[in-house]
A = this chain, B = another copy of it.
Amino acid sequence: MKLTKNTNILIIGLGLMGGCYAIGLKKNGYKISAITRSQSSIDYALENGIIDHGTTKIDPELVGNADLIVFGLYPAVFIDWIKENQHLLKEGALITDVTGVKTSIVYEIQSILRPDVEFVPAHPMAGREVYGVQNSAGVNVSEANFIVTPTDKNTEENIETVKKLGEEIGFAKISTLTPEAHDEMIAFLSQLAHCLAVVLMTCNDLNNLEDYTGNSFRDLTRIAHINENMWSELFMMNKEALLNQMNLFSKQFDKLKKQLENGDTDGMKEMMRRSTVRRDKFDKK
A residues apposed to B, CB below 8 Å: 125-127, 140, 143-145, 147, 173, 175, 177, 184-185, 188-190, 192-204, 206, 209-229, 231-233, 235-236, 239, 242-243, 245-254, 256-257, 260-261, 263, 265, 268-269, 271-276, 278-282, 284
**Closest residue of B by beta carbon distance from A251:** B203
Contacting pair B269 A224 (CB below 8 A): no
Contacting pair B236 A260 (CB below 8 A): yes
The answer for the CA separation of A38 and B107 in the assembled complex, in Å, is 62
The verdict on A194 contacting B216 (CB below 8 Å), with A250-B253, A263-B236, A268-B232 known, is yes
Q: What are 5 sample pairs from A and B whose C-beta atoms fall under 8 A apart? A: A145-B214, A219-B222, A228-B273, A235-B260, A246-B253
The verdict on A276 contacting B224 (CB below 8 Å), with A203-B248, A242-B260 known, is yes
Having A203-B249, A203-B253, A228-B272, one finds 9 other A-B pairs with CB under 8 Å, namely A125-B212, A196-B253, A209-B282, A222-B279, A226-B272, A232-B269, A235-B260, A236-B263, A246-B256
The answer for the CA separation of A247 and B204 in the assembled complex, in Å, is 10
Q: Point out the residues of chain B lying under 8 angstroms from A219, CB to CB.
A: 219-220, 222-223
Q: Point out the residues of chain B lying under 8 angstroms from A278, CB to CB.
A: 201-202, 224
Q: Point out the residues of chain B lying under 8 angstroms from A239, CB to CB.
A: 260-261, 263
The verdict on A252 contacting B203 (CB below 8 Å), with A189-B209, A224-B275, A231-B272 known, is yes
Contacting pair A220 B196 (CB below 8 A): yes
The 7 nearest A-B residue pairs measured at CB: A228-B272, A203-B252, A224-B279, A219-B219, A228-B269, A201-B275, A198-B275
The answer for the CA separation of A218 and B228 in the assembled complex, in Å, is 22
Interface of A (DSSP majority class): helix
A2 to chain B, nearest CB (A): 27
The verdict on A236 contacting B265 (CB below 8 Å), with A209-B185, A212-B175, A271-B202 known, is yes
A267 to chain B, nearest CB (A): 9
Contacting pair A222 B232 (CB below 8 A): no
Contacting pair B209 A175 (CB below 8 A): no
